[in-house]
Structure 1
Amino acid sequence: MLAPLLAKAQGFKLPENQKFEKIKFELINNIIVIPIDINGTELKFVFDSGVSKPILFNLSDQDSIPINNVSEVTIRGLGGGEPMKALSSQGNTFKLGKARNYSQDLYVVLDKGINFSTSLGIPVHGILGYEIFRDFVVEINYQSQHIKLHNPRLYERKQNKRSQTLPLSIEKRKAYVEGTVLMRDSENIHVKLLVDTGSSDALWLLHQPEKGLEIPEKNYEDFLGRGLSGDIFGKRTKVSGVKIGDFELKDAKAAFPYRESFGYIQNFGDRNGSVGGEILKRFNFIFDYQSGLITLRKNGNFKSPFQYNLAGIDLQHNGLRYIAESIAGLNGVVRDDDNSSFGNVQILLENKTRLSLVPEIIVSGIRAGSPAAEAGLREGDVILAVNGKSVHRYKLQEILSMLNEKEGKRIKVLIERYNKDLLFTFVLKKVFDDDD
């Protein structure tokens, strides 16, 4: 009689005596996307250490996901928008590999405007984090793109000369690590940073002049990301360096988000900012929430240059569109394009022309004064090709890389505007001079 009751115990667990479960993930724009089963439905979630409860969104008319014990609530995330209505659901079954939770709470956001799939380029249905970190010792290998969920009862900590273990404080279901920011005037400032695997950016700092965190003179206004409550803007800049433990990253990319993006947070306490995926991906981590420890070891990404939006263009998916292509050869053989992320519907017309259903990529934002803006590109333009390469053959992040390859690169962008094809050319420029 006790077996059903024990099976319903809250929290994620592995099968008895299993030491760990290994799960592959996709790293997209510095963000970890993992597969998860919720009440029998296979979904993809962002693995976000900055979120306290799982949130399900981006439900389409085709999705069929049973959820249990529902009531209405109001929630709010980062961004300057208003709080949103959501459903609170209890007693759901979550499966992550062989890890199981038979009584998981979650929020369901019904607002179709909340959709991270358009900016990531793959279908993403939600975010989760804290419960996984709470119930396991979580090892994240950014380089090989896998996570190990270690059974805390059976986990044995190993010593490694190339690794360093630091204190990790857990406050209100969020993890914080201490570090040092080296400002442009060579002043070293001790900081307490939120560890945010759900952020694609590098380093966010709060504007706290009284603590020495003043916005450097060299900066520009930029789109920093998208939160549950809207878009986040701030001042993009860089600092002389950031240190976590003994590891130092020089000339680190940084940003100071505008205060209104955190409107729902009344008191930051002793927090000074957050560290996101563009820095985190340079290490492999072991998070041990129960012991209050984090172990980090630099990997092959450590010396990778920080990526800036040199072109000044933000892109997103905007549904699907048909394109017509002539078939090379007369035998009617259709070459196999990789559009698996959003389907690959094709129609063959008289063995001469192929109609393919492909993602439509549009300019979702453009930075004032950027090379793309000065060339004449506008928000809403449909991107057809970059440097002669048809964009429907590439993933969204690959297209962004083409647009921001290196300083001095000449970029040619073919777009569609009001049913006309237009070609724009611009040269990529550094956003900061070498002597900044």
Structure 2
Amino acid sequence: VKDMADVVQQPGDYSFSYNTHVDGIMGFEVIKDVITEINFEKKKFIFYPKTLDINKRTPDNKKTFLNKLLPIGSGSLEMFAEAPSGKKLTLALDTGNSFYATTHKDVLERVGLWSPGKEAKYMTSAGVASGVVDAFYMKMPAMKIFNVPVAESHWDIIDLPSSSAEGDGTIGFGFLKNFNIVIDYERRRVWMDNFTGQVVNEAEGDIGIVATNNRKTKRTVIFKVSPDTPAAAAGIKEGDEVLSVDGKELIDVGYDRFKNLMRGKVGEKVKLAISRNGTLMRYELERKSLMNTTD
């Protein structure tokens, strides 16, 4: 590979998010001129000669799917998802994001899945290119994602209008890990083989707090407590410092890692040691499903 540049950043949160060792993320630029298979089943990349034409393959639309890339996005792979209304969402295929799927509240309004003016419950935060923004979780109805029928799924919703005039969001690793994916960018085709037989994601439990590290004190400080959540019911407050989670001391733990520490199976309990103005308090909270539902 010639004339490539790399960006160095801390990989710790990558490894924690994916639950495996990760040294970094390889971007789209590396594969755009090569027919590439991302084989999650065997955990490897396979590079094919340009004589391979996946457009000649016949999908059964049950296990195998052939998608056409949309003629937008110079540095992304954009394809359609379809809401129950039949209206389309333009979503990027992005194995580099650990979540299942994300979109914006105004997109949900456009496709008939959210009423204008309706307030979301269980507000949390999400990290985007511009920083940390308000977000919420949502249980989605039966729909098609890249032509794949999905009976039910749970998405991250950004509580801000989309910053792109073309794209509506992203389909991430949580969905794509179930497929071996062959990408032919030149012919604008993507082949997907559902080797796991799974496409849905279980609703994760949470307790309703968001925190990040204070660079001066190296402590993890809570900056959001969502109403009607286990944390709010227990009396946890914004500004409280989280000293440990399940007995493990937190030192310089940032937003992404803390978010993953809080999430887990519904019904599981998490133990927190919290300092408020120098007073130590201990909590044991049960994770709940903090999901919004469609209209």
In the TM superposition, 1:168-187 aligns within 5 A as: 168-171=69-72, 172-182=74-84, 187=85
Match for 2:155 among 254, 269, 275?
254
Within 5 Å, give how 1:275-314 maps onto structure 2: 275-300=171-196, 302-303=198-199, 305-314=201-210
Q: Deviations over 1:73-100 (max 9, x none)?
A: xxxxxxxxxxxxxxxxxxxxxxxxxxx2
Provide Cα deviations, 1:256-281, integer angstroms capped at 9, x if missing partner: 4233662xx4xx14x44332232222
Structure 2 residue 93 is matched with structure 1 residue 195: yes
One-letter identity of the residue aligned with 2:182: I
- The equivalent of 1:95 in structure 2 is none
Q: Which has the larger radius of gyration?
A: 1
Deviation of 1:178 (Å): 1.7
Aligned to 1:339: none
> SS state of the match for residue 32, structure 2?
helix
Distance 2:280 2:291 in 1: 33
Aligned residues: 278
Of residues 82, 95, 103, the one that matches 1:205 is: 103
Q: Could you tell me how far apart the structure 2 residues matched to 1:205 and 1:137 are?
A: 28
- Give the gaps of 5 or more residues in structure 1: 1-99, 109-114, 322-359
1:237-259, Cα deviation, whole Å (9 max, x unpaired): 22202313552222222344233
Map 1:60-99 → 2, pairs under 5 A: none
- 1:390 corresponds in structure 2 to 248
1:241 aligned partner = 142
Quick one: structure 1 residues 371 and 229, their matched pair in 2 at CA, closer, same or farther if it must change by over 3 Å? same
* RMSD of aligned Cα (Å): 4.2
Measure, in 2, the Cα distance between the counterparts of 1:379 and 1:398: 18
Residues 428 and 127 (structure 1 numbering): CA distance in 2 closer, same or farther, change over 3 Å? Answer: closer
Measured against aligned partners, the alpha-carbon deviations of 1:387-427 in whole angstroms (never above 9, x if no partner) come to: xx4357xx999986664433334433223455554201323
Calculate the TM-score normalised by the size of structure 1.
Answer: 0.52
Pairwise mapping of residues 76-225 of structure 1 onto structure 2 (< 5 A)? Answer: 100-101=1-2, 103-104=3-4, 117=11, 119-120=13-14, 129-148=27-46, 150-153=47-50, 155=52, 157=54, 159=57, 162-171=63-72, 172-182=74-84, 187-206=85-104, 207-208=106-107, 211-215=110-114, 219-220=120-121, 222-225=123-126
CA offsets 1:15-44 (integer angstroms, 9 cap, x no match): xxxxxxxxxxxxxxxxxxxxxxxxxxxxxx
Identity of aligned residues (%): 18
Instruction: Give TM-score, length-normalised by structure 2.
Output: 0.72
| Other structure's SS at 1:169 match | coil
Work out whether 1:381 is the aligned partner of 2:230: no
Aligned to 2:267: 408
Q: Distance in 2 between matches of 1:224 and 1:213?
A: 24
AA paired with 2:242? V
Q: Looking at both structures, which has the greater relative contact order when contacts are Cα pairs under 8 Å and sequence separation is at least 6?
A: 2
* C-alpha deviation, 1:224, in angstroms: 4.8
Provide the C-alpha distance between the structure 2 equivalents of 1:379 and 1:299, rounded to a whole number of angstroms. 46
8 Å contact kept, 1:119–1:317? no
Counterpart of 1:425 (choices 278, 284, 289) is 284
Deviations 1:268-305 (A, max 9, x none): 14x44332232222322111111111111224382563
Residues 300/374 of structure 1: CA separation in 2 closer, same or farther (3 Å cut): same
| Partner SS for 2:30 | helix
Tell me the SS of whatever aligns to 2:267: coil
Match of 2:170 among 263, 270, 274: 274
Structure 2: gaps of 5 or more residues: none
Determine the C-alpha separation between the residues in 2 that align with 1:391 and 1:307. Answer: 27
From the superposition, tell whether residues 297 and 426 of structure 1 become closer, same or farther in structure 2 (CA, over 3 Å).
same
